[in-house]
Structures are given as C-alpha cells and as structure tokens.
C-alpha cells in the first residue's frame, strides 16, 4: 500500500477527487483552506488580499498498482493548468489497522 498526499488549488477539488475515484480509490482525508507557496514557479496561495487563493490537501492510501496511474493523471492535469499548484507525494505504508 502507498500513501498519496496531493496538494492543489482548492478550485480543482472535483478534478482531484475524480482522478482518485477513476482509479478505484474511494477513501481519503481532506484538509481545506491551507496556505502554501510553490518551490519553483508557483504563486503563493495565502488567503490574503494580495494572494487570495488557498489550497486543499488530500491524503489517501491506495494499492501499489494504482499509484502510477494516479500520478500520471495528476501530471497531465498539472501540465494543462499550472495554476492548479498541484503536487503529489507518495510513500510506503508498512502497516495499518
């Protein structure tokens, strides 16, 4: 099993949820209205007057064989809409109850 943490512009929630659903991943935990600044070219998402947008984050645990497809679908969306501020991080889950 792998954990996938996805951060993104909150306006794109439906697209991110669809990617997970399309790959058979139903369960997730979401954080709404989080702040962040991209490490490369991204604009800040700080919820302020100057930088009014905010991010969301979703973490989900998925079978290993789903991860590459999810990452590819997210990568395609990121290339089409860089303002999405999309990032995904994956790590191995050793145990869970």
* Domains defined along the chain, listed by start: 2-92 (3.30.70.120)
DSSP structure string for 11-70? GGHHHHHHHHHHTT----EEEEEE-B--SSSPPPB-SSSSS---EEEEEEEE-HHHHHHH
Tokens for 18, please give them: 């669809």
> pTM for this one?
0.89
Write out pLDDT tens, residues 21-59: 999 999 999 999 998 887 677 777 888 898 888 999 999
Write out pLDDT tens, residues 81-94: 877 778 999 999 99
Query: Do 67 and 4 contact (CB within 8 A), yes or no?
Result: yes
Nearest CA among 12, 93, 33 for reference residue 60: 93
């Amino acid at each position: 099993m792998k954990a996938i943490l996805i951060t993104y512009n909150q306006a794109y929630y439906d697209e991110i949820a669809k990617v997970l659903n399309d790959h058979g991943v139903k369960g997730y935990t979401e954080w709404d209205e989080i702040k962040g600044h991209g490490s490369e070219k991204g604009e800040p998402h700080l919820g302020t007057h100057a930088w009014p947008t905010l991010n969301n984050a979703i973490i989900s645990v998925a079978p290993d064989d789903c991860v590459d497809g999810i990452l590819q679908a997210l990568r395609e969306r990121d290339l089409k809409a860089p303002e999405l501020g999309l990032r995904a991080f994956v790590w191995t889950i050793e145990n869970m109850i």
